[in-house]
Structures are given as C-alpha cells and as structure tokens.
Amino acid sequence: MEMHFHPLVSRSGLWLEQRSKPALTLLTILILVLIGTGDYYTGVEYSFLLFYFIPVALGSWFVSRRTGYFAALSAAIVWTSVDYFGRVSLTFWLATWNIIIQFILFIVFAYAISKIKEMMSEYRRVNIELQQALAEVKRLSGFLIVCSWCKRIRDEHGQWHQMEVYIAEHSEADFSHGICPDCAKKRFDKNVS
C-alpha cells in the first residue's frame, strides 16, 4: 500500500530530499532562529510550541536522528531562552527545569520521527523485494488433473492438452526434451535384444 500526499507536500518533500545534509542542517537552524524570533516578538499571548517541532522533524526526517537530537536540544534552549529573556518572571531553576522537560519532549519526538522514517524505508525495501518475488512467480498454480497414462492435462473447460503445451501457455517455462538414464537403459536394452 503506497501512501499518497497532497501534491504540494510531495513536491516539498522531493525538493528537501534533493538537498545536501549540510544545507538541510543549516535550514533547520535557520527555521529555529526564525521561530525563536517570532516567539520572542509576539510575547506571552501566543504559544509557539507547535512551531518548535518543525525544525526537529526536518532534522530527524531529512538529515539524521543525530541532527534531530541536536535540533531538539536547540529548540529547548531557544524556547526557554525566549521565555527567560522575554518573560522576566522565570527564575534560573525554573528555566533549567523547562529546558530539561522541553528537551525530553523534543527528543522523544525526534526519535519517533526518525524511527518512522526507518520503518518506512524498510517497508519500501521489503515491498520492492516482494514485488520482484511476485514477478518471478509463475502463473501456474493449484491442482492440475493429469492423465495417468498419456500425461495430458485437463483444463478448467474439460479439454485435454499435451503437458508441454499447457504448461508453456500457463507459465513462463520453456521445454527441451531429453531422455533420463533409466528410460535410455530400458529403451536401448530392448532394441539390443
């Protein structure tokens, strides 16, 4: 089952996947700075919590789990710094507590995003292998009724066909004839006597 996204999301994801990891890391930091700046200037009335997840997701999905962890730590520091410097009532210990809690929140999110990416990559790999294996499976399956005497095969319509013709029509197998050692011995021993 292939997942389909809105065309804009698909194009954005494709564009991001084509960028180098250093460029994406820099983009992650730039987005984090923009979010922190916006959070600082809007004041306490507006919550920017959701926006801090964007650089964490970007780093975790498109770069690496380690970059996601770096973005998680950076997001926690930026968010707490904005709270500390923008809202004077925050003490040093409360700011430290906030950094720890926010870091745990963001690091769990970064881990989950990178794990989902790994699982999707594994799913795609297994799906490709499965499609290749299915392509190799022949069309011929189920029970075949074979005449015990002449070895012809009866089809679903009750018609009898020569085994080689039937199998060639219902599979990708080709035939070449030979003679096994037992039959050769029986056949040629009879002619000699």
> pLDDT at residue 193 above 50?
no
H/E run at residue 144 = none
List the structure tokens of 95.
């700011």
* Intra-chain end-to-end CA distance of the chain, in Å: 67
List the structure tokens of 88.
């004077």
**Cα 61 from Cα 68, distance rounded (Å):** 8
> pLDDT at residue 173 above 80?
no
Average pLDDT over residues 21-44: 90
Using an 8 Å Cβ cutoff, are 106 and 73 in contact? yes
> pLDDT at residue 26 above 70?
yes
Encode pLDDT of 74-127 as tens digits.
Answer: 999 998 888 888 766 777 888 788 889 999 999 999 999 999 999 999 999 999
> pLDDT at residue 49 above 60?
yes
Average pLDDT over residues 3-28: 76
Residue 8 — pLDDT band, cuts 50, 70, 90?
A: low
Average pLDDT over residues 42-50: 82
Q: What is the structure's pLDDT at 178?
A: 84
Encode pLDDT of 128-171 as tens digits.
Answer: 999 888 776 656 667 788 888 888 989 888 999 998 888 888 77
